[in-house]
Chains A and B, each alone.
Chain A
């Protein structure tokens, strides 16, 4: 289309991604999980997010369609860390468009290679560690204010939104800058395994605290020893406070992990045990 008009400009400057294009990629990629489905997972979002990239780097229609087509393949990883892959993908598409020196099939291969590890670390760090910690803090702050101040909820959104959007923005910028070389770096450094380990440690400590602070289960039973009435719950608390919440959590963990019990019926079952136990005068 523009071969004569822009003859003076080299294709390099015409089709190289600018900071502005990467910003567009960041804005388009807000819809990354919007079209999520069980067939191709996040592929619709990947195609949509890459519109600013593909439209810029390729010249003719045929190449553009071919580029979009290779991103309609199944893609599934954690939504925030996916943006690092989007940045690397943008760098690879640009490289392919300008020099034609990489096999386009390798673009898909790199994406597939990264999505597994990124899903693992993203899920455990962001959803398994940061979110429960922040939510637990938010609940504590709201409870401590006597249910008058929403500060806990505001703090929760600020941290979750701030970290999430920062990961998206920096992922695109850093991924584009480093390009394919980042893949080898990520795979060889063992960084992902280390991060996963530290996140798991933090999550374990916090979950342990949550069992005592956020789960409550008390016996309403008492027995009389001679003149005095002894509350069974006070006896248990004398040995180990929060003993029953610990036992209940470990039982649930065993049922879910070893007996493969579906968590949703288990939630209903716990609720029913609570209601029946309370009605029978066993639990309070």
Chain B
């Protein structure tokens, strides 16, 4: 069992590193919970739990828009470990209990990376510019930041999964059922915070009636997310044509 876990932990470490490369370079969005969940589930041999955790954590961090340079809780590192733990314990509640604290820990790692390590490489890059040293620029913009990702995020994933698996199983067995049920209740509510963050990032106070259109169609009529997206397209079209009419009349008069 242990050699299997060793291989799984090593593969997870590599996947983590690649996802952080994607997060900071190619940005193909493989680093979002809804994608990570099934991938980690495949690696850990529990695809269904992986898909479930991916959806649960994605909803927790759906509204992850923080304005300016403030960092949101780090969802990638958090989802990888939370999904791995959930697959080991065969219960999604493990992910509910661990995802948010892990995201806050990784957020601190991210602050350390951006405030200390990459400021250091930034200064080294400026020195390389003065020497017209292209290798130095590459080293300090591309190579070292990815080494930081390896040390700060990928290696801790290995340590947590390889050495933490037994511990997690033990802790889960010790937690009373009432708290585990409660975690699922809280997990269903936590999306409200993310959605209110999204509302803050747009001009909500002047567009609250569009919000209510979406809400009432979903609540009273039971229309799902795909239908709501169609409704959004219709609302945008209505606003677009209203604007165009107004502009034409303004041009005439």
Contact = CB atoms under 8 A, between A and B. Distances in A.
Interface string A241-284: 11101101111110111000001101110111111111100011
Interface string B122-146: 1001100110101001101110011
Given A38-B114, A279-B178, A128 B141 contact: no
B32 A208 contact: no
A203 B198 CA distance: 8
A274 B30 contact: no
B125 to A, nearest CB: 5
Contacts of A255: 196
A201 B189 contact: no
Contact of A69 (B24, B130, B208, B226): B130
Contact of A138 (B58, B193, B218): B58
B207 interface: yes
Given A142-B34, A164-B27, A215-B195, A38 B115 contact: yes
A35 B225 contact: no
Contacts, number: 355
A132 B202 CA distance: 13
A209 B141 contact: no
A207 B198 contact: yes
Task: For chain B, give the interface size range.
Answer: 35 or more
Contacts of A268: 100
B31 to A, nearest CB: 10
Contact of B239 (A30, A198, A246, A250): A198
Contacts of A204: 199, 202, 204, 207-208, 210-211, 214
B185 A211 contact: no
Interface stretch (A10-18, A152-160, A174-182): A152-160
A160 B207 contact: no
A216 interface: yes
Interface in B152-197: 178-179, 181-183, 185-193, 195-197
Contacts of A43: 122
Contact of B229 (A33, A206, A266): A206
Interface string B65-89: 1110100110000000000000000
Interface string B103-127: 0100100000011001101100110
A213 B24 contact: no
A128 B212 contact: no
Query: Of A38, A51, A143, which is in contact with the most chain B CB atoms at under 10 Å from its CB?
Result: A38
B250 interface: no
Given A68-B129, A147-B48, A279 B186 contact: no
A214 B62 contact: yes
A211 B195 contact: yes
Contact of A205 (B132, B141, B179, B214): B214
Nearest to B22: A161
A79 B190 contact: no
B63 A132 contact: yes
Contacts of A196: 203
A120 to B, nearest CB: 10
A59 to B, nearest CB: 13
Contacts of B125: 35, 44, 47-48, 72
B174 to A, nearest CB: 16
Interface in A36-50: 36-41, 43-45, 47-48
Contacts of B239: 197-198, 201
A242 B182 CA distance: 19
Nearest to A79: B27
A208 B215 contact: yes
A39 to B, nearest CB: 5
Contact of B214 (A36, A137, A142, A208): A208
Interface string A144-172: 00011010110011001100110000000
Contacts of A240: 219-220
B16 to A, nearest CB: 16
6 contacts: A38-B118, A147-B55, A148-B48, A204-B207, A204-B210, A210-B225
Interface of A: 30-41, 43-45, 47-48, 51, 55, 61, 64-65, 68-69, 72, 76, 79-80, 123-124, 127-129, 131-133, 135-140, 142-143, 147-148, 150, 152-153, 156-157, 160-161, 164-165, 194, 196-217, 240-243, 245-246, 248-253, 255-257, 263-264, 266-268, 270-279, 283-284
6 A-B pairs closest in CB distance: A274-B186, A208-B214, A209-B228, A275-B182, A37-B118, A212-B218
Given A31-B24, A139-B59, A275-B185, 19 more contacts: A31-B141, A132-B198, A140-B225, A143-B55, A207-B211, A207-B214, A209-B214, A209-B215, A211-B192, A213-B225, A217-B188, A217-B189, A217-B192, A241-B219, A249-B195, A253-B204, A256-B197, A275-B186, A278-B181
